[in-house]
Amino acid sequence: MSEQDVAVVTGANSGIGRATAIHLAQQGMRVFGTVRAASKAEKLLTMAADAGVSVEIAELDVADDESVVAGFAQILEAAGRVDHLVNSAGVGGNAVAEECPSGLYNSVFNINVTGAVRCSQQVLPGMRERGSGTIVNITSVAGRIAALAQSPYVASKWALEGVSEGMAQELAPFGIRVAIVEPGVTKSAIFAKNVDTPNSTGAYDVHYRNMFQFYAAGYLSATDPFEVGKVIHHSIVTDEPSLRYPVSWAGDEMAGLHDRIDDADWLGLGMIEDLDEYMDRFEEIFGIDIRTPA
């Protein structure tokens, strides 16, 4: 790493993005945190100041082509280059497939997948020219396991996993590293924002209940987002890079299990209506206790 590498962290106004921006600045990088509106960055700036570092704000919306082009043009004008891009901006999306409006799939995909691609396209020409750089894409354990009743979110994160794998091969000849960070449940404002469900048919009450039970248990043990920031920093500076980095509560347990879960066990889990039985079977399969205090 050079004396002061330049890093851009999208979605830096909250959660993993905010923690990562501050942590990378603490490691000596010059950090630009992107937000949709500078007025939403007050907590980021306060936390950075409290940590004794500065994070520069770049206003852009990852869901909009022109906004991304303009935002990165300002960053490149100010810094001259981007050495590391952390695609952290993202949204949740709760719905079973039958009840999910097509527009919700499109909007979640546009932010979680196309947004990451838009931002990457702005920094890759310079990285190729220099023969170095890092793209870190934040996916999720839901990018490896089809998390229940979150069809649009799962679709987007699985897609970002595929895009990231492809980028890793595409960019390797140019000395550019791609890392996929797969968080489980991490402390974030997304919990408060992601409580809606369509439930338009009334047929999937059990599915939504089981999904919220998982997150209720995870919320009690949720990992500090700065721990994810540390993993992201490691993925950038390590001399022994991996493609994937599972992290946070349930991350290690679930991210690598997809190909080892028997299809019959997976389908059987969906057949269980009794909550206690469901929680018991979930722990048998994943090794994770999702019970919550009475």
Using one digit for the tens of pLDDT, what is the confidence trace for 82-141? 999 999 999 999 999 999 999 999 999 999 999 999 999 999 999 999 999 999 999 999
Task: Work out whether strand 56-59 and strand 176-183 pair parallel, antiparallel, or are unpaired.
Answer: unpaired
Chain position carrying tokens 């935002």: 71
Q: How many CB atoms lie within 10 A of CB 62?
A: 25
Burial class (CB in 10 A: 0-12, 13-18, 19+), 107: middle
Catalogue the E-assigned strands of 161-258.
176-183, 244-247
Domain extent listing, the chain: 6-196+222-261
Contact 87, 60 (CB under 8 A): no
More confident residue, 197 or 276: 276
Angle at 212 between CA 206 and CA 218, to 5 degrees: 140
Cα–Cα distance for residue pair 46/21, rounded to 1 Å? 13
**Average pLDDT of the chain to the nearest whole number:** 93
What pLDDT does residue 2 have? 46
Cα–Cα distance for residue pair 224/289, rounded to 1 Å? 19
Task: Work out whether strand 56-59 and strand 133-138 pair parallel, antiparallel, or are unpaired.
Answer: unpaired
Structure token pair of residue 197: 């469900």
Contact 76, 124 (CB under 8 A): no
Task: Work out whether strand 176-183 and strand 30-35 pair parallel, antiparallel, or are unpaired.
Answer: unpaired
Whole-model pTM? 0.90
Identify the weakest region by mean pLDDT among 66-70, 171-175, 223-227, 252-256.
252-256
Number of alpha helices (DSSP H) and beta strands (DSSP E) in the chain: 12, 7
Rounded CA Rg of the chain: 19
Q: Which helix (H) or strand (E) holds 169?
A: helix 151-171
Residue 287 has pLDDT above 70, yes or no: yes
Would you report the helix, strand and coil content of the chain in percent, each value rounded to 5? 55, 15, 30
Structure token pair of residue 9: 């962290």
Contacts within 8 Å (CB) and 24+ apart, 264-267: none
CATH number of 6-196+222-261: 3.40.50.720
Residue 155 has pLDDT above 80, yes or no: yes
What pLDDT does residue 40 have? 87
Catalytically annotated residues = 153
Share of the chain above pLDDT 90, in %: 79
